[in-house]
Amino acid sequence: GAVVSQHPSWVICKSGTSVKIECRSLDFQATTMFWYRQFPKQSLMLMATSNEGSKATYEQGVEKDKFLINHASLTLSTLTVTSAHPEDSSFYICSAPGASGSKNEQFFGPGTRLTVL
Amino acid sequence: GNSVTQMEGPVTLSEEAFLTINCTYTATGYPSLFWYVQYPGEGLQLLLKATKADDKGSNKGFEATYRKETTSFHLEKGSVQVSDSAVYFCALSGNSGYSTLTFGKGTMLLVSP
């Protein structure tokens, strides 16, 4: 089946540093990937849509200069949290739509827990 | 716009009890409906889905029926297990292209032995 991986699974960093999170589709190609953020005991909030070969589309209220997204290839999207602050601490999850025939189904990565000290 | 409303938790049950988690939605057109499950510390896993009215999705003893007349997709299981303890998310997506998912707030299920 369609598998999506994320790396790292968790990261702790100091305030002011930047952190890169990778999202990979392991056995299928994904021209589109989605990045979500989940606060404790809350639902997933879509942050942005990552598009291979073009700029990401950000949801309202998400700072594109703070959350840099690069869809480097058909199997890799990266989210870089720049100049991280404690309020950026969260669980970040990516997903990718399935192959043709199931294009309204998404496959989720296991998530990356970011803690900013 | 699209929205999903699901019952607030936590839902606390004893093992082998019957489970219902209510989910209703608002959407234009004919969305696909999903239930995702999130175990502690993990990402989301698709539990079941239904893509058109009256479809019943089922998996691992869970089932949900797409009811267009009541715009609902309630999750049910006849006999829960301790291992079912998790957070359950109801979600919908449009049927045009790679539509994004709209999630409910999630319902935590706690099953005790």
CB contact, 8 Å: B40 with chain A?
Answer: no
Q: Does B46 touch chain A (CB under 8 A)?
A: yes
Report the C-alpha gap between B86 and B72 in whole angstroms: 21
| Record: contact A104-B103, CB cut-off 8 A | no
Dump pLDDT digits (tens) for A8-34: 999 999 999 999 999 999 988 888 999
- Whether A44 and A37 have beta carbons less than 8 Å apart is answered as yes
Lowest mean pLDDT across A20-34, A54-68, B89-103: B89-103
Q: Which residues pair with B75 in a beta bridge?
A: B21, B64
| CA distances to A37, A38, A100, B26, B104 from A42, in Å | 10, 6, 31, 20, 9
Unique residue bearing structure tokens 């309202």: A60
User: How confident is the prediction for chain A on average, in pLDDT?
Assistant: 90
pLDDT tens digit sequence for B2-52: 899 998 889 999 999 999 999 999 998 889 999 999 998 788 889 999 999
CA-nearest residue of chain A to B105?
A43
Instruction: Give pLDDT, residue B49.
Output: 93
User: B43–A111: do the CB atoms touch at under 8 Å?
Assistant: yes
Note the pLDDT tens digit of each residue in A33-58.
Answer: 999 998 877 788 999 999 998 899 99
A105 touches chain B (CB under 8 A): yes
- How many residues are listed for chain B in this entry? 113
The residues with which A19 forms a beta bridge, in sequence order, are: A81
Whether the per-residue pLDDT at B99 is higher than 70: the answer is no
B3 and chain A: CB distance < 8 Å anywhere? no
Query: Is A111 in Cβ contact with B103 (below 8 Å)?
Result: no
Q: DSSP class of residue A96?
A: E
- Residue A102: pLDDT above 60? no
Collect all residues with Cβ–Cβ distance below 8 Å to B75 and sequence separation of at least 6: B19, B20, B21, B23, B35, B47, B62, B63, B64, B88, B90
